[in-house]
Structure 1
Amino acid sequence: MQHISKLPEVGTTIFSVMSGLANKHNAINLSQGFPDFGSDQKLIDLVCKAMNSGYNQYAPMAGNFELREAIAKKMEALYNTSYHPENEITITAGATQAISTIISAFIKPNDEVIIFKPAYDSYEPGIKLNGGKVIPLQLKAPDFSVDWKAVKEKINSQTKMIIINTPHNPSGMIFSKEDMSELERITKNTNIIVLSDEVYEHMIYDDEKHQSACLFPDLKARSFVVASFCKTFHNTGWRIGYCCAPKELMELFLQVHQFSIFCVHHPTQKGIADYMQEPKHYLELASFYQRKRDLFLSLIKDSRFTFTPSKGTYFQVLNYSKITQEYDVDYAKRLTKEFGLASIPLSVFNENNLDNKVLRFCFAKKDDTLKKAAEILLKI
């Protein structure tokens, strides 16, 4: 039998490559975005309690209602906006499933989707699998800013969707109020859907504010806001997230959702619903991770790497151009093999593999891990 791949250009992801090298060479792994510390035992206990209390059958298709209510309350408290828990919030198997389902629900052959590069690596394959056309726009280094004039020039009658990510992975930048207002102006009076990937919404530093798409009325009316409990509560293996959107958009989302996954692990939903009754569990996250960011940067300030402090996410980009002019993929591999420290090169996420001589390091790690990583960087 012979078969042709629907994604012929897709190979092994850089995350698998770098983590594989880290394991092989016993390196400190600051490449993939997951903590090396555990979840709150209270949350684990609440999920176990839900199992023991009988929450072991199918959840409602849109998710446990108590959890949807908790999300609605959070959105109102943080952004002064309302999403009805009955028909405007859906629990998903991680943010990636939400993103995939949104694309599948709306993108038809030859529809154009604007994405900003460097981009999270699930966007482009999802668009191509549905016959859509990827319209990439490169963010401008070193601050990874958006050229809104270029965005306007790319919009035409075929433009169906714009995908944004703020706080932005892998760069750590955030979309400003001015950025979001410009996006609102550009899409006003169009049929363009905005997919706003906001999985790092609670990781914003230096007193900056998260500019969610739901803060801008016309933008909210055309947007899916995607979020992740996995990132927020330090349990990436649980694969649970959610999305919010106006009822008329969510109805179309659910048409696909019901046949792709139907519902998500019920006891986890119930446990998180109970856990969210104490807002401090997500409100204190920014200070928790800013302390880790500041620790990491203070430890490497005398290294030959240069940086601008990350504004959001739990990633820090370091520029190595004063050390070597090697291609970033080659340097990341050499750093892992020879020095015992794994990172992620950004060129693999850029348009035409643009190499800005930067690597991404995850600081969602124990302090001891960050100190050991810093010792290596100082020696280079």
Structure 2
Amino acid sequence: MFETLSKEFEVKIFNYKLLYPSFLFPGKTQFDISGEVKKIPSERIVNSLHPFNWIRVASRINYEKPDLIIFDWWHPYFALCHFFISLFINKKLKKRSLFITENYISHEGHFIDRWLTRIGLHHANYFIALSKKVEDELKQNFKHKKIYRSELPIYEHLTGNAEDITSLKQKFSIAPNEKVLLFFGYIRKYKGLDILLEALNLLSSESDKIKLIIAGEFYDDKDFYIELIHKYELQNIVIMQNEYIPNEQVKDYFIVSDVVVLPYRSATQSGILNLAYGFRKPVIVTKVGGLSEFVNNESTGLIVEQPKAELIADAIKKFFEIENKIDFRKNIAEFVKSNRFNNLNEIINKVLEDSNAS
């Protein structure tokens, strides 16, 4: 986003110096440990927990006198932080507040989340929704606000220089003739890894020719998934990497894989899907939330009607039957040309026009 906006605008990023308190964060670290992160200039000045900090941040925004303030919203935990920062900015700037809404309600939200979300987004004048599902939720709950549509970008900056497939398969102890499924990203219940493991069990004889790579840190009870692997006797099929995958290693997991599986129980959109498309890898996704909006069935991937193990198993089987009949790579390359993120600067200019006219 910074690189795209900087082509046309002067951009300043106010980052978090405290994102989540450690007792609320299920992972090992909240910091990116990658050695090849693009260096985007930002100031770590926002403390998500400290009310006096919110006043100071708002004062700093007032001092900068921006033409537009963009808040990134993804979780109701930030409701009070966003509410008070947007409350304390001056009256003129209140009319220039845009919230990019990745999720409306978090994937595993509780009853209080809807209330917190309305508080956190209370001072928004404009919204950018990143999926039709979120757009519809915003229209229902903020009927008098202007809502624009965009998408997550296609992540092509991690492709790097890859080893050849044979070397990568040796690295992962995968036989040359074995097919590879990839489940990538942190593991939580809504992502349906347990459904995928059950699907592998249902594939029976076909599973002998398949390997599943699970690459990501467990935010759920790891033992639950280990027990499933043993229950279904999948120890020789599953390759598990229980850690955050740094940027410089991401390419190995995607390049060695034939298809990326997203057996989600719920979703708005997915950075994993856009990462797969960056590598021109097809996907198998469930038809939940806004996830299937970004897949052309039997063209850029396969869409499964419900997050059920038997349907996921059928889709995996079907994919390997048709993978040589459909040019998934070419279709994905064509599909990503229409990615709405490419129009971000056009949207921002439109928001500026509307805010100046109001």
Alignment TM-score, normalising by the size of structure 1: 0.32
Task: Pick the structure with greater CA Rg.
Answer: 2
